[in-house]
Each structure stands twice: as C-alpha cells, then as structure tokens.
Structure 1
C-alpha cells in the first residue's frame, strides 16, 4: 500500500460469555464500538429458538441473532466509516429505534457481543478482520457479574435470569471452547487490552514480526 492510500478500516471481534466483561473492556480500549447485541431478533419472530425442555426463548443461541444484518453493518463501517444500527431494548425483546454510528477515520473498531465469534470467518472472507478475541474468566465471577447487571437493568424476570444464569455457568467452558473453535482466541482482560492496543496502533508502530491476528486452528 502506497503512503497516499488510506489505511482500510478493520474490525476486532470481541466475543465471550454473557457477563464476561466485554462491554466494559471495549469502553476501556478507547476504540469505536459497534454493539452486536443490538442485532438480536425481536420477540414474536418465528425463527427464535427455545431452550430444550422449556418454554423459555434461548437468547444465548446464535439463532436468536441476525448475523446477516450485523455483517452488513460491519462491512458498511469498514467501507464508509458510518452506518445506521438498531437500538435494541433487551427487557422488551424489541428494536425501539435506529441510530447513526459514525467512527470517522478510525482504522480499527470493535464489534462486541456474545455472538461475535459466529461471524469471524465471514469477516475474514471480506478482508476486514483485524483480530478476534474471546474474553474468558471464572464462571462463578461471570455468573455474579451477569446476574447483578441483568437485575439492575431489569432485562428479564428474576426466575428467568436465575434459570439462565445457572445454565450458562455450567456451560461456560463449552461456550469458550465453541468460540475458540470458530476462530476467536481465548484471553484474559489484560491480554485482550494488549491485543486491542496492537490492532488499533498505526501500522508503522507495531512490533516487527508481531502478527495482528492469530487464529487457532479449527
């Protein structure tokens, strides 16, 4: 790429179990953030999956999420630096509006959400992927953080949150393993911050020989 050509905008996909601290970490990075959880499907959508053996909607299944719309938004941000995104109300399970997201000339932005790993390969194929991370921690800590957040924000009923919380705590290691298999590198908060800093640094300032992206084999 010649000095006169602009550096193409790329995305760091930040995945991890619900409650692992993705949103807080993304804010700490100082990079623009696209909230991928705003691309949830709405209540009443006939394609929404259910938890096996329960009447609960499985909001932790990627089938509850509109991957095509999320990828389209990422592609437009990388191409133009701006896009319109839905505003999703988790408590109402509905999109309550749309808003403009403008990342300006930023060469890198974060796409953050529990299903971010599910679009790693698609972003690679589009040539817009800078890195893909899966934030991991202790399941008990994730459980407490998630429950406190969801109760504070009134996301769902208390019985639903408790059922979901216990289910996710038991499944957390499997969730991380699945996201790793999809191409998101498991890391703790400090490693994630370091890799976000590396991805967001000007190309000439990166350490020689240090790859911006490292994908675990599937």
Structure 2
C-alpha cells in the first residue's frame, strides 16, 4: 500500500477515490465524513481511538470531527502506519513462504538421505552378489576343464577297451583252434598207444594157425 494524498474539499474525484457518497459506506456503516468515501478499516480506526495502531487523544472523538475536513498530518500518519503494517505482513508472508520452502527442502533432503542409504545398501549387496557369481564362474570353469579331461580319458579308455575286445576275439579264436588241435593230438596219441600195445603183446600156449 502506497501513501495516498487525501482529496481536498471541492476537488473533482480521481481514479483512486470513488465519487462522493451520501455519507453511508457500501457496508451500510455511516461515514464520519459526509460527502467522501472512507474505507471501512479507516472508519474503524477513527471510531476506535484506542486501537494499537495509533492512539488518538481522548478529547478527539469521531462525533466532534464529523463535520470537519481530515487533518493532513493525522491522515498521513494513518496511511504510513497502514503501509508499515502491510509491509510487515508481506515480509511475514515472504518469510513464511521461505519457511515452507525450507521445510519442503528438508523433507526432500531427508527422503534423499534415506534413498542414498538404501542405494548404498543395494550397491553393497550387488557387490557381494557379483563376487559370488565370479566365484561360481571360476568354479564352473574349473569343473568344465575337469569334465573335458574326464571326457578325453573316457574316450581313450573306450578305445583301449574296444582294442582289447578285438584282441580277446582273436585270442578266443586261437584258443578254439588250439583246443581242436589238442583234441586231434589226443586222438592221435591214443591211436599210437593202441598200436604200440598190440605189437608188444605176448601170447603163450595158444593154438592157432600159422600165418603164411
């Protein structure tokens, strides 16, 4: 609110003040200055000299100055104090706005702190998980190498077993031929033994014909 110079008696109405009234304000309260519009808060201040904004002398009553023009110094003092009040109110509103903004920033900071703590915890857990995965990969790589070695050894043993089976088949054939040969030799030996025993027989006192 800026300082406003009050209109003088008989001057034309300006854009700041409304046209002269019949002494009744729009709120229905009788104006103490007939012919001029007086804002309700100014009427209250004039009709209540004990207001904390400023103090009137007890001898000055609204009824006594109702038919006189507004004192320039008093009006300026009223407007200055009203401007001071308005400035203080704006300052308080600004400070309250800043305070609300600070509170919002504090809430955001607290939330960010909680989020950072959780993110740090997640980073730690992720690091532990990555270490475990690396250990599993190394173990898996070692197991894969062992598995490859076992596979190669198994193939080698399979080849050995296959070759041994072929050799066993050959040996089995040889054994069969040896068995058959042994059987033949046994028969030949028995025949030879029987022939030699016949030639070595001695017969005594046996009647018989002479063989020519």
Q: What TM-score results when the alignment is normalised by the length of structure 1?
A: 0.18
- TM-score, length basis structure 2: 0.18
* Structure (1/2) with the larger strand percentage: 1
Decide which structure has greater helix share: 2
